[in-house]
Amino acid sequence: MRLSLSVNDLTRLTASVSGPGYLSAHLNIRERPNENDFSKSVHVSGIQTFESETVFLTWTEFDLKTGDAVLIRVLDDGEGDLPTDVRRSSESPQNLFTNPELASALLSLVADFESRLLQLVERSEKSESPDEHKKFTTAVGHVMSEFGDRFLYPIYRRHKELVPNGLKGELL
């Protein structure tokens, strides 16, 4: 994937992401009086998704003024300008456990707890009113989402051998 960004007929950058992922251009016009922010800008970002790692790419943001013309052109695959910032999910300070045995132990605990929660969801459906059951299933969904964000993904980013096949190549 590749695109070029021009402002007033001047090409400012060419951004490229090779392989699976995303490439996005963002035009932002802000009117935030409480923050004294009346800015206009455009920037490009990208995400590369590898089997067990996500790479976040950011290119320079350009300020705009009223009357500027912004052109985003979709290009054939090829080389692009180097991003100004590159972050790798494997380098996240939130990643957990260098020890794979501890990582596996936590994954087992989470799987067991999630299984027990789902059993309780089944019991709730049979004995609670629809409104109460819906509140409980919503709460369970939030807990499981937090497990993913706080325990599972921080382990998967560090221990690619523990990533389930269904998650390989997805955002981690």
Segment 82-111, tens digit of pLDDT: 999 999 988 888 888 989 999 999 999 999
Q: Tell me the backbone φ, ψ of residue 70, rounded to 5 degrees.
A: -110, 130
* Nearest-angstrom CA–CA distance, 11 and 6: 4
Residue 90 has what pLDDT? Answer: 81
Q: What is the dihedral of CA 35, 37, 43, 45, to 10 degrees?
A: 10
Strand duo 40-49 + 85-88: pairing: unpaired
Query: What pLDDT does 29 receive?
Result: 95
CA distance 52 to 48: 11
Q: Please tell me which residue, 165 or 52, carries the higher pLDDT value.
A: 165
Q: What share of the chain is helix, strand, coil (3-state, %, to 5)?
A: 40, 30, 30
User: 104-153: per-residue pLDDT in tens?
Assistant: 999 999 999 999 999 999 999 999 999 999 999 999 999 999 999 899 98
What SS3 state is found at 31? coil
Summarize pLDDT for 14-29 with one digit per residue, the tens: 999 998 999 999 999 9
Q: What's the chain's Rg over C-alpha atoms?
A: 22
Q: Are 3 and 14 in contact (CB under 8 A)?
A: yes
Contacts of the segment 77-82: beta carbons below 8 A, 24+ positions apart? 77/1, 77/2, 77/16, 77/18, 78/2, 78/16, 79/2, 79/14, 79/16, 80/2, 80/13, 80/14, 80/15, 80/16, 81/13, 81/14, 81/15, 81/16
How much is the pLDDT for 52?
72
Q: Residue 172: its pLDDT value, please? A: 62
Give me the residue spans of the domains in the chain: 2-90, 100-163
